[in-house]
Chain A
Amino acid sequence: MKPSEFQVTPQPTTLSPNATPSSWREWLSEHGPRLLLFARQQTRSQEDAEDILQDALVKLVDKIEAGEFSGGQEAWMPYLYTALRRLAIDLGRKDDRRKRREDQVVGDSIVQSQDEFHPWFESDTSDDETRKLLEGGLKDLPKKFAEVIVLKIWGDRTFAQIGEALDISPNTAASRYRYGLEALSKKLSGARRKGDLSI
């Protein structure tokens, strides 16, 4: 008699997102803000940030269309963060440095006024001062600290993923995150003592 086999294989529990985007617009609504934040952190202006974000998204779509993108939806964000960083570096290199120096005085004031019209974070009127202080502190941090903080807190990346995006080791990413937060905390200590910052 042939043995009959009963296979009882409980499926491993996998957690799926509560709201999986089903269209580009939904996906962009969910991830666009954090991508724009990283792009803004990597560039000098809102305009440059928007440009590299658009370029990065087009690169992603081109790869998907050509069948060259390996991985599912979960691989999009790591790809985009890496692409944004590389595009920002390329953009910086392409700038005419002599022209930048000549325009430095005018340029800085333009950038500063743009920042006021293009804040990086949402806030309500009651919390705007805190938002400005934190945002200003983050902008003043050395880039190598700020980019890790942005990816860790708002990009929700692990240190290994941050290492991949920034081409550094996970250990370096973790160290920069910790030092960055400590540096930011020290920078804000004056405001804290004056009572302007409640954290």
Chain B
Amino acid sequence: MDSEFQRLEDQLKALVPAKLDSALLDGLAAALGDPSALAGDEVAQLEARLGRMNPRPPSAALFEKLAAPLERTPFLDEAKTVRFPVPAAEVVEPSRGSRFPWLAAAAAVAMAGAWTAVKMSPAAPIRPESSAGVPVAQNAVPIEQAPAADGHFQPASIDSAVSQTEDLGLQWNRQAQPMRVVRVTYMDRMKLLNEKGEVIETSVPRVEYVVIPEQVD
């Protein structure tokens, strides 16, 4: 009898409970609530509601008190100020370089990608001598192709350089992981030649967004 019970017990232990069907699971989940989803929704709604609140402006008396010392100095009107041009190939370095190594890493990744794209161009190189003495950009990829005989312009060289990087801050993904978003602005330059030696240069900005997982302490 004991062995029979033991055998029965072993058989019962070998059984696996059936899985819940999806409809029942959905119902249970809705009843219990998904804390992260609920919290996320409530926080997002709260954030939106807070954003609709406007800070109270200073009183008239306070406004006058604040404006008085300001008006002794000419106002810098940005619309009427012309800044000195910044070289197109200049990369904006962070003020505390060692504090944002990821920015340099993002820029390096972006430049590597750009250089790879340029190197993989199907155009074959041409010798600079055929360009009527017009110098080819040092980092440019020359394109091997004889200038058209009918005066039409043909590409002579192309290159791409990072002109600016900008930290857009952190974004949170659905898994609540912080992701740093960096905007990388390239300047794609192309030089076109015709048989007369005339040159057209184009510079077209191109923006890419690099998303890097942020290391959380």
Contacts and interface: CB of A to CB of B under 8 A. Distances in A.
Interface residues of A, number: 65
Contacts of A54: 65-66, 69
Give chain A's interface secondary structure class. helix
Interface stretch (A81-89, A90-98, A103-111, A114-122): A114-122
Nearest to B185: A12
Interface residues of B, number: 59
Interface of B: 39, 42-43, 45-51, 53-58, 62-63, 65-67, 69-73, 75-79, 81, 83, 132-134, 167-170, 172, 178, 180, 185, 187, 196-205, 214-217
Contacts of A15: none
B133 A3 contact: yes
A175 B215 CA distance: 12
Contacts of A131: 53
B168 A9 contact: no
A4 B198 contact: yes
A49 to B, nearest CB: 10
B49 A33 contact: no
Interface string A24-43: 11011100111011000000
Nearest to B133: A3
A33 B39 contact: no
Contacts of B169: 158-160, 170, 174
Contacts of A77: none
Contacts of B79: 16, 20, 22
